[in-house]
Each structure stands twice: as C-alpha cells, then as structure tokens.
Amino acid sequence: MKRESKFELLRIVLICMVITLHYLNPEIGGALEYTKGTEINHVFALVLESICIIAVNVFVIITGYFGLKRMSQSLRKPFGLILLVIGYNLISRFVEVGMGEKALSINTILGIFIPANWYIIIYVALILIAPYINFLINSITKQQLEKLICLMFTIFVVWNTVFDILFDLFNIKMLGVSTITNNGSQSGYNIVNFILLYIIGSYIKKYNITIKIKYLLTIYISALFLTILMGNFTSTSWNYDNIFVIIMSVSFFVLWNQTVEIGNKRIINVIAKGTLGIYILHTKKVITEFLWGMFSIELYSHGGIVLFIINLLLCVVITYIICYVFDMLCRSIVRPISILLDRIKLLNSNIVQLGIKFDEGKKSE
C-alpha cells in the first residue's frame, strides 16, 4: 500500500504524544505527579496530558480508515508482531545487563518470552477479526452503520464513563456494572474500545465524512476543556473510553484529514517507519530508567515553566531518535528471521478468506 505522507506525519505526531504521556505518567516519568507543588507547571502538565491522551485512539482510527477493504488475513503479520515484541524484549534486556543491570533470572527470562504489551496484543486480536468487521460494515447501509456506532457509543462509552466518574469521585467499589468486564472497563484498555474506533475509522473512509472546520474546532476544544476540568477531580477523565477522549480522538482525526495536505514527502515516510518500534521500545527500562534518569524530570518539574518545557521537548526528541536508531538496528538483526517467516507457507496462507469485494460507497443509503 502506498504511504500517504500526511498520515505518516500524523503517526509521528501521535508517537511523540505517547512518549509525552509516559513522561507525565506518575509510574514512569512522573512529571504529572512531580508538578503538583508548582501550580503553573501542573496546569501545563494537565493540559498536555489531556491533549496527548487521544494518541492510541487515533492510531486505531487510522487502522480502521486504511483497513476497510481487507477481506482476508494470514497469520504472518500477527505472528510477526508477537515475535517483534519478544525480539525487542531480548535485545533490550541484553543492553540493560551490559549497562549494569542484574543478570538474567527465571522471572526475567519468562518476561522476555511472554509478549506482555497490551497495545500489541489487542491490536493483533483486532486485525485477526478485522475482515469480519469489514464484511459487516460493507454489508449494511450507511444509516444502519450510524445506528450501530451510536448504539456501541452509548453502551460502551457513555455508560462506562458515567459510572467510572461516579465510582472514582465517591470511592465506590462495585462489581458487575460495566458493560466491558465484571470489574470496570479497564480504562479503555480493551478490544471493545478498539473495535468501536476501528468501525468509526472505516465509516469516515467509506463515506468520506467531512464536517465544517469551525464545528470540528468547537467540538474538539469543548471536549478538551471538559477533559482538563475533570482531570482536576478524577483520573478517569483520561480513560481511553471516556466520552470526551473519544470525541476528541474522532474530531482530531477528521480535522487532520480535512486540513493537512503535504503531498508525498519521502523524508516523512522514512521517519515514520519506526513508529511501531518506538512504541514498543520507549517504555523499556533502558529508556525510562537509564536515559530518562539523565533528564532529572523531578528536578525540572519543580523548576521554571520554560526549563520544564525544554526538558520535556528534549526528552521526547532524544527518545524518538534513540529508539528509531535502535529499531533500525534491531530490524537489521531480525531481518533473516523475517525473511524465513515470509517463506513459511502456513503463516502466509489466509486463515480468514471471505472472498468478497465491495464497491466503495455501496449500500450508502
């Protein structure tokens, strides 16, 4: 498939947002927690968290936007993604040991060979069932598809958002209320949210959805404002399946699709090639502890706003560059394995083959 540079640029922006989220994350970079004693820095961190929280959702919308016509699926891509996570686990672990980390143990060895990456695992599940989702989308009318999206949005987004907020604000512990799992919606880290976003992306593509820019901006800014406001009271405002996060994600994607036109830029396509590898690599200990430790995030979070912003930007850019280079090196190392996988007939045979072609815009009434 020919790469469209405006979407490759979007992928670059999104992966920088993801790195920013982890810079702010209290359990990784910690900046959102560290800034609590400095009002202006904390407000900036809240705004940034609310802007960047859409990144993963928009990645999934892109998948739906470009995946609409796929009516078959082999095991090659899913299997390759799982092996990629394991391979990067192995290589990064050896780098960590070389930098003074304790030697390998049974637990760390198991950690290497179990591909524990929530995004990749759910993404693999999504692309395996995507042909069936596409068949459904292409088999029903536009009105029926819109009703499906509204129904899913109400059941899986609105319902869960209301109870997530109430339970968090009033510290209520109650099982069996969520429409996703017995114990809540898992903050949107689930296949249902991915399927909804995929369907929305496919809907935008199939029917070439456009909205007036002034309305898009109003919707996006309003949802952003409410997310920031709620973020002062509850962390559920940054759930991936929060109603305002979903609205921001969709409006941002449509806005980008309608306004950004840059033609075919080879340099952008090359830089964007590493986004998946960067996503996998940037949360490894060699990055979050060794590299980010050099940025003294806690110190700059308490300092002046200008220095805090400079520290953040440097951290994001340098992390991107290092992970990109590391990704290219890793891909060179594992290329023989990739070539071998391409030759295995079983992996490259379609496990899903619907054998149906639909014309764009069919059943649009």
Tell me the mean pLDDT in the region 18-39. Answer: 94
**Cβ density class 90-111: b for 16+ within 10 Å, e for less:** bbbbeebeeeebeeeeeeeeee
Going from the C-alpha of 126 to that of each of 68, 244, 350, the distances in angstroms are 13, 23, 16
pTM for this entry: 0.94
Structure confidence by residue, pLDDT tens digits, 226-273: 999 999 899 999 999 999 999 999 999 999 999 999 988 999 999 999
> Would you place residue 111 in the very low, low, confident or very high pLDDT band (cuts 50, 70, 90)?
confident
> Would you place residue 356 in the very low, low, confident or very high pLDDT band (cuts 50, 70, 90)?
low
How many angstroms separate the CA atoms of 67 and 75, rounded? 16
> Would you place residue 357 in the very low, low, confident or very high pLDDT band (cuts 50, 70, 90)?
low
Q: What is the dihedral of CA 192, 198, 204, 205, to 10 degrees?
A: -160
Handedness of CA 337, 339, 341, 344 (dihedral sign): negative
Structure confidence by residue, pLDDT tens digits, 278-299: 999 999 989 998 999 999 999 9
Q: 103 φ, ψ to 5°?
A: -65, 165
Can you give the residue ranges of every domain in the chain? Answer: 5-348
> Would you place residue 106 in the very low, low, confident or very high pLDDT band (cuts 50, 70, 90)?
confident
What was the pLDDT predicted at 1?
57
Question: Most confidently modeled of 33-42, 185-194, 331-340?
Answer: 185-194
